[in-house]
Structure 1
Amino acid sequence: MSTLPAGRATTAEPEPRPTTIIYVFAVTDSPVPREVLARTPGHDGGGPLRTLAAGAFHLVVQDVPAADYGEAALAERLNRPDVLERCARAHHRGVETAASAGPAVPLPMATLYLDDGNAVRAVTAREASLRALLERLRDRTEWAVKVHGPAAGPGAAADGEGTGDGRSYLRRASARRRTERETREQALARAHAVDRELRRYAVAATRHRPQSERMTGTSVPQLLNVAYLVDDARREEFVRAVGSLAREAGATGLEVTVSGPWIPYSFARLVDTDAVERGARQEVVA
């Protein structure tokens, strides 16, 4: 048996840090053609998009530089609006690529793993819930419906501000506020009636918070902001129903708009996939 010379010691060589990590865009159960992946640009500085087999699933992934996409570096970069926008657009392109082959579950932006093995283990451990969610999304798309209005009425000056005594002015102001409140309540009731009718054509629906005037770019208030999960077979029926409701609402001063079809982001997390995201946070390069 050999022994080390006195006064000498050995130290384990530190494991080299990976130069790339794995960015996961989405999970699907349908293989994505290579030519589709090849023509889809991913994140800046990363390799081409590729698929990674994970049991019954296929992950759309990209190898990205660890120095730029490690947790600390990425958090700092995403504080810059221009970088955040580029990352969001790249993430959406990756999700669209997955959805081009079949139903897809978009993972949260910046879902990262140290390597392929960690990504595969995190996803296959949630096979049952992901399979159920993919089945729920199959042959269905998301449609967004927004209801705006009515436009704000004239201000206090139009009510004769400065005329008459103070009590008369206060009565007029109180009456105006009451009228405005009643008008808004009636408009909300009509908007909710639109929502109830459209739910008849949808598999599921979820209300989002109405967008602010800064987001919509108009001073007309947004009363309703709803996403509907619709069977593709009922797409035309749903759109016709929106058109009919929009015409009826227009006569009362409301505007109903629809957009779609979209990837069903609003419905892709109704089954608990949070554990996949937690796994990503635990295994990502710090």
Structure 2
Amino acid sequence: MNTPGSLTYVYAVTHRSGPLGDALAGLHGIGQAPLRFLPLAADTADIAPGTPHASLAFVAGDVPEQDFNETALKKNFEDLGWLEHVARTHHDVVQAVAARAPVLPLRMATVYQDDHRARQALSAQQAVFTQRLDQLRAHTEYGVKIYLTPDTTEPPPAAPAPPASPGKAYLEARRAQRHSRDAVYQQAEQAAETIEALASRHATQRVRHAPQRGELTGPQENVLNDAYLIPDDQAGQFQAAIADAARSFPGLRIEVTGPWAPYSFAMPAPDPADAPEPPR
């Protein structure tokens, strides 16, 4: 039940279990609010144990209505400090659940007016949630990123040459730099193809995210940012295969991240027929 002046914030979908319930009792969400299971019915005795989706539940907590109503969210999303705190807390809760049970992470700042409204949303999507949780069972998300390091895009030192005019020297330097960058990008393309081939031996699904930019990458340029869903019993082989392949591309930084809760695979990818048509 909600406390006065609060909204229901949902972090993830999972199946209720005794061990996970014990773990939730020791965890806190945004604003140090206690976490709770939010099952389909307010009284769990109303759900027969053998019925489909009987154990399905949101992991939820209360948040202040004054900070999470629609108007407040528009303002708070411009506050980087507030946004970082909420994102980090949301992630910590999801990861804690994922360490103990299959989980579908929900989008940050998914809020409902009250528990009743949240249960209505859970009920409306229970079949999809249950199917997806079954598909993700015993699987974990890993990321693979390729970076161009600054020193690999600098032109090599020029050999001694006869003096040239400033204009000619500038053009030659630019040409050498362009050739150097072209070679590095070609190597990155080869690395991406190699990684995709290796990962396909282990992954059940892949999502290609847009390369990261700005403060997330620093001086390095991110040119590949893929997520793979890996069966838990193949995670070690997957990581070893990527690490071994990375040694063949010394001009690049190839990084495996994870294990993560399956953020990239929480819901099925849209069918190509339903995807919006790209601009022409």
Q: Same fold (TM over 0.5)?
A: yes
Residues 233, 120 of structure 1: alpha-carbon distance in 2 compared, 3 angstrom cutoff: same
Structure 1 length as normaliser, TM-score? 0.77
How far apart, CA to CA, are the structure 1 residues paired with 2:137 and 2:7?
Answer: 30
2:25 is matched with which residue? Answer: 38
Rg comparison, structure with higher value:
1
Q: TM (normalized to structure 2)?
A: 0.79
Residues 158-205 of structure 1 show CA distances to partners (whole Å, capped at 9, x for unaligned) of: 588994246744662464255134313421222222322222221111
Q: Does 1:114 align with 2:96?
A: no
Q: Is the 8 A contact 1:23 1:112 kept in 2?
A: yes
Q: C-alpha separation between the residues in 2 aligned to 1:35 and 1:242?
A: 37
In 2 relative to 1, CA 185–70 (structure 1 residues): closer, same or farther, beyond 3 Å? closer
SS of alignment partner, residue 44 of structure 1: helix
Distance in structure 2 (CA, Å) of the matches to 1:230 and 1:207: 15
Q: Would the aligned equivalents of 2:153 and 2:184 in 1 still touch at CA under 8 Å?
A: no
Alignment CA distance shift 1:100-1:220 (3 Å): closer
Cα deviation, residue 74, structure 1: 3.0
- Structure 2 distance, partners of 1:85, 1:184, is 34
1:20 matched residue in structure 2: 6
Match of 1:224 in 2: 224
After superposition, the C-alpha distances for 1:113-150 in whole angstroms (9 at most, x for unaligned) are 11212111111111222122112211100111122235
Amino acid at match of 1:51: F
1:1-286 equivalent positions in 2, closer than 5 A: 19-31=5-17, 33-44=20-31, 46=33, 48-54=34-40, 55-56=53-54, 57-149=56-148, 151-154=151-154, 163-165=163-165, 168-169=168-169, 172-173=172-173, 175-196=175-196, 197-212=198-213, 214-217=215-218, 219-250=219-250, 253-270=251-268
Q: Does structure 1 retain, via aligned residues, the 8 Å contact 2:139–2:230?
A: yes
Instruction: Work out whether residues 155 and 180 of structure 2, in 8 Å CA contact, stay in contact via their aligned partners in 1.
Output: no
| Aligned 8 A contact 1:24 1:62 in 2 | yes
Give secondary structure in 2 for the equivalent of 1:245.
helix
Structure-2 separation of matches of 1:271 and 1:157: 47
Q: Secondary structure of the residue that 1:102 maps to in structure 2?
A: coil
Q: CA deviation at 1:75?
A: 2.7
Structure 2 letter corresponding to 1:101: R
The offset of 1:206, in angstroms, is 1.6
Give aligned pairs, total.
252
Whole-Å Cα distance in 1 between the matches of residues 76 and 32 of structure 2? 14
1:65/1:178 Cα in 2 relative to 1: closer, same or farther (>3 Å)? closer
Give the CA deviation at 1:49.
0.6
Change (3 A) 1:222 1:233: same
Paired residues of 2:195 and 2:245 also in contact (CA < 8 A): no
Shift of 1:69: 2.1
Distance 2:104 2:213 in 1: 28
The worse-fitting range, judged by mean Cα deviation, of 149-158 and 18-27 is: 149-158
Q: Write the letter of the residue equivalent to 1:189.
A: E
- Cα pair distance change 1:78/1:50, threshold 3 Å: same
Distance 1:94 1:153 in 2: 40
